[in-house]
Structure 1
Amino acid sequence: MKKAVICLAEGFEDVEAVMPIDLLRRAGVSVTVAGVTGWEIVSSRGLRLVADALLADLVPGDADALILPGGMPGASNLAASSDVTAWIKACIAQDKIVAAICASPAVVLGKAGVLKGKRFTCYPGNEKDVTDGIFVTEPVVIDGNIVTSRGVGTADAFALELIRLLAGKDMRDKVAKATLIE
């Protein structure tokens, strides 16, 4: 069974966190909700989620994918975490999936220095913070093991691409059909 870790910090964007958690679990992927700022994390819209684990207690890179939702100040809180940076670096070094949506591609991955020469997308306006990546406006962009997406309106496409990468196209299609996404 493939494993994914999704990092939640205070101020995360609700849909960008819950959509990947839900759809990946429907696809049979083991998803660990990792609290970066504590066990109970409050979203930008006031949704309270309880983490399965604290990111600080997990071994960096011990998953097939790392997922970073956006939202503000969620993305800034992720970027400020040395644990998140350690996970990004470990996953990149091990050629595992690093996925970020909304502000997080620019704010978190850009700060971690992993977008150099890479195609990426993010929430409009955040791309100005990345000077060494190649910004494109596609809903979901995959460059090597880095997956980026634009925001709430692309969260379903983002989650489905993660399913395709982790569980295969047939499972992606099965989940999309069962949830009426396509």
Structure 2
Amino acid sequence: MSKILMVVSGADSMKLADGSVHPTGYWAEEVAASHEVLRAAGAEVDVATPGGVRPTVDQLSLDARGGVPAADAERFRGYLASIADVLDTPMALADVRAGDYDAIYLPGGHAPMADLAESADLGRLLNEADAQGKTVAALCHGVAALLSAARDDGGFTFAGRRLTSFTDEEERQGGLGDNAPYFVETRLRERGAVLDTGAPWSRKVVQDGNLITGQNPQSSTDTADRVLAALNG
């Protein structure tokens, strides 16, 4: 049985470009749908956050304001409630070692931009996992969490690697627009990643060796499926 660590942001707010503070959290579909697919395949899934804090769901991800149909929102609520014991008592990221897992999985929501992207503990974990050839997967804004990983010379660990992320156009169409702290796609390009993105809101998963990335919430189940295929292959 595969053992997977899902690293979820612990942030419940973030500072925007105009200096205002915006409530945030993880995106319900990206945690719920991904976790459900992985568990249904028999994988053991642990959850970790910075400091072991209980993660906060972004209320927009359970609301029509976030473009989520009522039936889907109800399904995500139900699944999150079914794993409440896991989400309420996550592991502390600092205590985790990559060698204990077959894969690291990073779901999004804007929150990872506020904490995971600058987490030294996550950077250490990602460097360990990549060096050991473990599967590293990130989804939507969760791909920003990869920015925490740096080489000894200060360069981006995943520079030169092909990946996708929530796109600048998607941020403008249905995200925070120009008030976002930064655009994830642009920041990754600046750090040397090779971006391979699809049309806005299309399902898109990119695999480059042990690195698997999904573009947006619509790509949640496809990303989880690709991780399972990589672990089983």
- Range class of TM-score, shorter chain: 0.7 to 0.9
**Cα pair 1:70 1:101 within 8 Å, conserved:** yes
TM-score (normalizing by structure 1): 0.83
**Structure 1: runs of 5+ lacking an equivalent:** 169-182
Q: Secondary structure of the residue that 1:42 maps to in structure 2?
A: coil
**Cα pair 1:12 1:69 within 8 Å, conserved:** yes
C-alpha deviation, 1:86, in angstroms: 1.1
Between structures 1 and 2, the one with greater helix share: 2
C-alpha deviation, 1:20, in angstroms: 1.7
C-alpha deviation, 1:93, in angstroms: 0.6
What pairs up with 1:128-147 in 2 under 5 angstroms? 128-130=186-188, 131=190, 132-138=192-198, 139-147=204-212
Query: Is 14-23 or 88-97 further displaced after alignment?
Result: 14-23
Aligned equivalent of 2:142: 104
CA RMSD of aligned residues (A): 1.9
Paired with 1:98 and 1:134, the residues of 2 have a C-alpha distance of 16
Aligned equivalent of 2:19: none
Determine what percentage of the aligned residue pairs are the same residue. Answer: 31
Change (3 A) 1:7 1:123: same
Paired with 1:150 and 1:21, the residues of 2 have a C-alpha distance of 17
C-alpha deviation, 1:92, in angstroms: 0.5
Paired with 1:51 and 1:134, the residues of 2 have a C-alpha distance of 36
TM-score (normalizing by structure 2): 0.66
Deviations 1:128-172 (A, max 9, x none): 10221111114000001110111111101111111211235xxxx
C-alpha deviation, 1:80, in angstroms: 2.4
Between structures 1 and 2, the one with greater strand share: 1
C-alpha deviation, 1:111, in angstroms: 4.2
Paired with 1:78 and 1:57, the residues of 2 have a C-alpha distance of 15
**Cα pair 1:2 1:29 within 8 Å, conserved:** yes
